[in-house]
């Protein structure tokens, strides 16, 4: 498995398995199948509601903890009369308990809202204590990412953002590279939007290699040095998504895929006031 080296020296597998939108009752079986297929990098979040099922799959697998790279995420903390710092640490402890582990490989601030400066101070301390080997963020646009970097001690190791052929984030990736932050893709297949799986360009490249469109998309991201966490509940698809290291896209093929970029999200805008308010009103612990 190819890996990337984060800004603190931690090695992170470039390909992982995500569990966003997998129902809690299906998650354990899905993660067990992913681990059986060879995945050792797992990505979940408190807000997904399936951390305990991920933990049960890890336990059932018998795989040694040190062989796994486990990521989860801190939701927006709400403590109007208390301490966001303390609540962030409690939320971390809750995630550890649900996962059944005693440390995380990567802990991310899930959304760039609320008092994320207090959250980041808590995460910096968790990192210094060895409880989170690396810390980072998710869904941070470049301006908020730079602001966080410039006013804190530890530079985020990762920024997990929407990244796929129709929203490629090249400028964001370049800024992250300059600042020592690893880009990670969520939604690599755009959930099939814009007819991704039948797109003529992607289909032609896939035919050239005897691969699926999904494999081409994952290979395209990996060749861009983007960490990626595809999701599936079907073992045959998990195995297919894992089999993306035996071929290479040509420069010409990479350029054809680059031309698909629309420069806009296919999901929602983190700068939309209504979306900011909706996300900020949700509660997870």
- 3-5 and 11-13 as β-strands: parallel, antiparallel, unpaired? antiparallel
Question: Within 10 A of 124 (CB to CB), how many other CB atoms are there?
Answer: 15
Inter-residue long-range contacts of 244-249, CB under 8 Å, 24+ positions, other chains counted? 244/15, 244/211, 244/215, 244/218, 244/219, 245/1, 245/2, 247/209, 247/211, 247/219, 248/219, 248/223, 249/205, 249/209, 249/216, 249/219, 249/220, 249/223
Residues annotated as catalytic (active site), given as ranges: 48
Beta-strand runs (E) in 17-176: 17-18, 41-43, 69-74, 106-109, 135-138, 158-162
């Amino acid at each position: 498995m190819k890996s990337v080296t984060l800004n603190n020296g931690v090695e992170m597998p470039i390909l992982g398995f995500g569990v966003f939108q997998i129902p809690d009752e299906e998650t354990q079986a899905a993660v067990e199948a992913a681990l059986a297929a060879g995945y050792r990098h797992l990505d979940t979040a408190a807000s997904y509601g399936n951390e305990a099922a991920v933990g049960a799959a890890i336990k059932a697998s018998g795989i040694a903890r040190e062989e796994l790279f486990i990521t989860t995420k801190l939701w927006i903390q709400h403590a109007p009369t208390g301490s966001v710092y303390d609540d962030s640490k409690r939320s971390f402890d809750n995630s550890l308990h649900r996962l059944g582990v005693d440390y995380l490989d990567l802990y991310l601030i899930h959304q760039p809202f609320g008092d994320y400066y207090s959250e980041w101070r808590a995460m910096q301390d968790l990192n210094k204590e060895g409880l989170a080997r690396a810390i980072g963020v998710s869904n941070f646009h470049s301006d908020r990412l730079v602001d966080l970097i410039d006013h804190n001690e530890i530079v985020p190791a990762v920024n997990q953002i929407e990244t796929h052929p129709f929203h490629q984030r090249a400028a964001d990736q370049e800024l992250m590279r300059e600042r020592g932050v690893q880009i990670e893709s969520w939604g690599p297949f755009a959930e099939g939007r814009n007819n991704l799986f039948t797109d003529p360009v992607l289909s032609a490249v896939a035919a050239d290699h005897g691969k699926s469109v999904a494999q081409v998309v994952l290979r395209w991201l990996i060749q861009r040095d983007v960490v990626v966490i595809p999701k599936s509940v079907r073992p045959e698809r998990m195995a297919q998504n894992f089999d993306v290291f035996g071929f290479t896209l040509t420069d010409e093929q990479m350029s054809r895929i680059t031309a698909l970029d629309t420069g806009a999200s296919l999901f929602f805008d983190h700068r939309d006031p209504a979306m900011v308010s909706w996300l900020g009103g949700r509660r997870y612990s």
